[in-house]
Every structure is written in structure tokens, then in C-alpha cells.
Amino acid sequence: MTGPAGRRTSAWVLLLHTITFKQARGWVPVVLAVAAGRGLGDGPTTVVALVVGITVLSLVWAALSWWRFSYADGETSVVVTRGLLSRTVRTVPIDRVRGVEVEAPALHRLFGLVRVRIDAAAGSVAAKDEELVVDGVPRAEGDRLRARLLTRRVPAGPLPDGTEAVPEPEEELARFDPRWLRYAPLVGGYLAVPLAAVGALFRVADEVPDRWKPDLGQPDLPGTSVVALFLLAAVVVLVVGSVVGCAVVNWGFRLVRRGGSLLAVRGLVTRRHTELELDRIRGWTVTAGLGMRLAGAARASALVTGLGDAARRGQLLPLGPRDTAWSLAARLVDDPGPVRAHPPAARRRAVVRACAPGVLVLVAGAVLTPLAGWWVLLVVGGALTVLGVPLGLARYAALGHVAGERSFAVRAGWLVQEHTVLQRRAVVGWQVQQSLVQRRSGLATVRACVGAGRGGYPVVDMAAAEAAGFARAASGAWADTLVDG
């Protein structure tokens, strides 16, 4: 079989990579080290020479790698060839391609280019190695590649009788409503955005020479108002920052079902297209943190077999009202209904576990107060122990599981509550765990092993007597092995 003709990426990508110093970035420390070693002067000439040198180096490097890179999509496989001196040829059978992501970072958009990431997960290989990246092809070529790799049964290009393939009908499942941005300050991940930005700002401020810094002098305000003002400013920065961060990532989010796959588009600066095959979806998780639950918000993601970077790619709804998240998820895999609570022994265990750290501090305090006068420990320990009770009760209240006709559900978590629904066919194994304490109180942790998402979803502290029955109901007759041979 002769291989299909190799295709190159667009030459514009040279410019892109030169501007961003993509390949030359690694050389900067070397150049700096050499410069330091040679003891170059620090006049403007040296700076210019350095900049020109690095740019030229970058251009040459980009040109070489562009020249040596080619990709080809044949009848049955994709072949990517690259490498400057040693050539690497990677062949991925098309039926192993599990996801294709087309992303358009800001600079790429200026040139009408996109970056295509082909996810060819192969079990336990490290995530980085599973991905083929074709960086810098025109938008239309990116779309063609995506369609080609994911819709196997549709031949590339015009159909044999000369007509173009009819585009499959699209159905919009979800669209991001800008009003949902108000939930952003309640999500830990988005709150981290302004924090990181402030941290970076401080680092930059440290670098600025002293003579350029404005002389702020000492404010005349009394201490408390300064603190109050500072806190107010911090809250404003956090709220605004998280909303902006959320908007940048999720702007224009749309989830569309096209034929046999789900297509998600999002991003303000970098546009990202992610495609998932419906066939590979095994379940979903609706996640809601403490703050999100108070505001009635949630997010939903799909659990897809063999999907690399599943947390990001599997997203069905990045952030939105709880009802929207639920109805969207339930369209993919049936919701087996409300979860059943766990036995009272599980409540006792949850409370004991939540109080244990407090009791430990309390005991340490009881020992050290007479010895060293550390009564603070006693107070802190007492407070922690008392707080442990509601925490344990809340954790217990979050626990739940239920097996339905075609799927089953597991719920757990207080700070971040996850409600996971999986299809019966998703289960590739069961693991029943029982610690000494659990054995005494008739509890067991039953873990459904699945080849998607995190790999295992535990039902923590269910009644030991019901473990085998649940496993049977949630997977199949083979799980009867747990009770009779």
C-alpha cells in the first residue's frame, strides 16, 4: 500500500512561531548564560544584537521544523512525520482516534489558522504522548480533518455520484447565557484567576527599579479603615477577576449534537472546538461546590472512554443553573432517579471521622495545657470537635446511591458535591473494600471500576449486606459471582 501524499501546514505558521519564539524559547537561557559568561556590555547595541539573534534563530528553527513536518490522512490511518535530524513517523489507525479538538488561539485567528489536536488514547500511555498536534492549518482544512477523522463512514470529499455529502442536521443542546457569569465568583477555579494575576503583578512590581515607583508616602487614614478598604478592594478584584476569567474561557459556549457526535465550541480569545463521540459516552457527573449549591448553580461533564484530558474536553456545561445542567446531562444517559440514603452507621462513621482531628488537637491540648500552658490548643481543639459534628452530618447527607434500569448513580462530597451517573455497560469491574471499623459497623465501600473519567467511582459506606445486590443491579448477572459461585 502506498501511503497517502503528505500535507504541510500553512507557511504562515512560520511567522506565528517566530513572533511567539515558540521553538527558540528553550534557547533563551542558553543565550543568556553565554552572554553572562562572555561578559557582554549592557549597552543598547548588545540588547539589539540579542533580540535580532534570537529572532533569527527562532525563524530558522521554525522554518526547519515546518519543512520537516508533514501529516497525511489515509483510508485507515493518520500519519504524522516530524523531527529535525532523527525522523519520527507516527501512525494512528483512524478507528483509534477518540477525539479531535480544533483550537484557534488569538494569533492564529489573525492568520485564519487553527491548531488541530488529535487524541489517540492508548490505555496507559502518558497523556502527553497520546496526542498528535497539527499546528497551523487553514480553518477549512482543520474542519475537514476533524470531519474526516471522526465520521469514519462518510468518505472524504464529494460522494461517488458527484454530489457533496449532505451536512448532517445539527441540534443545539446548550448555549452559554452571559447571565450565568454571575455564578463565576462561587467557583474555586475561577477565583484562582485574579489571585494568580495579582501574584504576577506583585512579582513585576518587585522587578521595577525603585526610582520608577511612585512615592505613595504613608496614608493618613487610621489602621482600621485601611484594612477595611483593602478588604473591600480585594473582594472587588476577586469578583471582577473571576467573572472576567470565566467570560474569557467560556464566552460563546455552545454544545451541539451533529450526527453521532457532540461538538462543543467556546472561548473569547482562543476559540476551541471539541468533538466527542456519543457512542463513547458512558456517563456524566454534575458537580456543585458549596457556594454553587447555595446559588443553585452546577456544571456538567461527560465521562467518555479513553478520552485524554477528560476534565476539560468532556465538559457539557462549564457553568449554569442546576436545572439546565441536569436536564442536559439526562439527555445523554438516563437519570436513575433520586439517590437512596446510607444506613445510620454511615452517619456515625462520618461524624466520628469529621471530629477526629479536633479530638486529636483537644487531647494534645489537654496534655500540654498543664505542662506548657498551651491553652490555645485546648480551645482550638474544642472548637474543631464541635464543628466536626455538622461537617460529618453534612458529609453523610451528601452520600447516596441508586441503581436504575439502565444506569446507576453515586453521590458524595460536601465541599464539592459530585453526582455521577454511569451506564450499566460502563462497569468493567467491582471492588468491595472493608476496613476493620467498617466490618464492625456492617458497612462497605463499593467501587465501580470504569474505563472513563477517574477510573473508579466509590459508593462510600453503604450497608455491607446490600453491596452485592447493588453491584448486580448496577452491572449485570456476572456480578452474582460476589454471592454464589
Identify the residue whose cell numbers are 462549564. 318
- Tell how strand 281-289 and strand 271-277 pair up: unpaired
Query: Nearer to another protein by C-beta: 47 or 122?
Result: 122
Instruction: By CB under 8 A, tell whether 430 contacts another protein.
Output: yes
Q: What part of residues 276-295 is at the interface with another protein (CB under 8 A)? A: 280, 282
Q: Residue 452 is placed in which grid cell?
A: 472513563
Q: What single letter denotes the amino acid at residue 102?
A: V
Interacting residue with another protein among 150, 402, 467, 474 (CB under 8 A) = 467
Least distance (Å) between residue 425 CB and another protein:
7
Sequence-distant (6+) residues with CB within 8 A of 475 are 424, 427, 430, 448
Distance from C-alpha of 454 to C-alpha of 307, rounded to nearest angstrom: 11
**Cβ of residue 315: shortest distance to another protein, in angstroms?**
21
Strand-pair partners of 100: 118, 275
Backbone angle region of 5, left / alpha / beta, with phi > 0 → left and psi within -120 to 50 → alpha: beta
User: Cα–Cα distance between 435 and 429 in angstroms, integer?
Assistant: 20
Residues 336-375 interacting with another protein (rule: CB under 8 A): none
Number of residues interacting with another protein: please give it, by CB under 8 A: 43
Chain mean position to CA 25: 26
Query: Would you count residue 479 as binding another protein (CB under 8 A)?
Result: yes
Residue 62 makes contact with another protein by CB under 8 A:
no
Q: Is 15 in the site for another protein (CB under 8 A)?
A: no
CA separation for the pair 98, 79 (Å, rounded)? 16
Residue 90's SS3 state is strand
| Interface residue with another protein, options 303, 361, 464, 474 (CB under 8 A) | 464
CA-closest candidate to residue 319, choices 286, 279, 347, 350: 286
Q: Is 428 in the site for another protein (CB under 8 A)?
A: yes
State in angstroms the smallest separation of the CB of 224 from another protein: 45
Residue (20 or 445) nearer to another protein, CB: 445
String marking each residue 434-453 x if it binds another protein according to CB under 8 A: xxx--xxxx-x-xx-xxxx-
Nearer to another protein, 8 or 425 (CB): 425
Q: Should residue 465 be labelled a site residue for another protein when binding is judged by CB under 8 A?
A: yes
- Which residue, 76 or 433, is less far from another protein as judged by CB? 433
Contact pick of 123, 169, 209, 370 for another protein (by CB under 8 A): 123
Examine residue 418 and tell whether it contacts another protein (CB under 8 A).
Answer: no
177 or 279, CB closer to another protein? Answer: 279
State the minimum distance, in angstroms, from the CB of residue 198 to another protein: 37
Q: State the minimum distance, in angstroms, from the CB of residue 148 to another protein.
A: 23
Q: Tell me how far apart the alpha carbons of residues 289 and 292 are, in angstroms, rounded to a whole number.
A: 5
Which residues, 298 to 317, sit near another protein by CB under 8 A?
305-306
Rounded to an integer, what distance in angstroms lies between the CA atom of residue 80 and that of residue 82?
A: 7
260 binds another protein (CB under 8 A): no
If the CB atoms of residues 148 and 447 are measured against another protein, the closer one turns out to be 447
Q: Tell me 268's DSSP state.
A: S
**38 Cβ neighbours under 8 A, 6+ residues apart:** none
State in angstroms the smallest separation of the CB of 307 from another protein: 11
Residues 26, 219, 296, 456: which binds another protein (CB under 8 A)? Answer: 456
Give yes or no for residue 393 binding another protein (CB under 8 A): no
List Cβ<8 Å contacts ≥24 apart for 149-156. Answer: 149/73, 149/78, 149/94, 149/97, 149/100, 149/118, 150/97, 150/100, 150/261, 150/275, 150/277, 151/259, 151/260, 151/261, 152/94, 152/95, 156/73
> Residues in the chain, how many?
485
- Closest distance of CB 316 from another protein, Å: 20
Contacting residues toward another protein, per CB under 8 A: 123-124, 280, 282, 305-306, 425, 428-436, 439-442, 444, 446-447, 449-452, 454-456, 464-465, 467-468, 471, 476, 478-479, 481-485
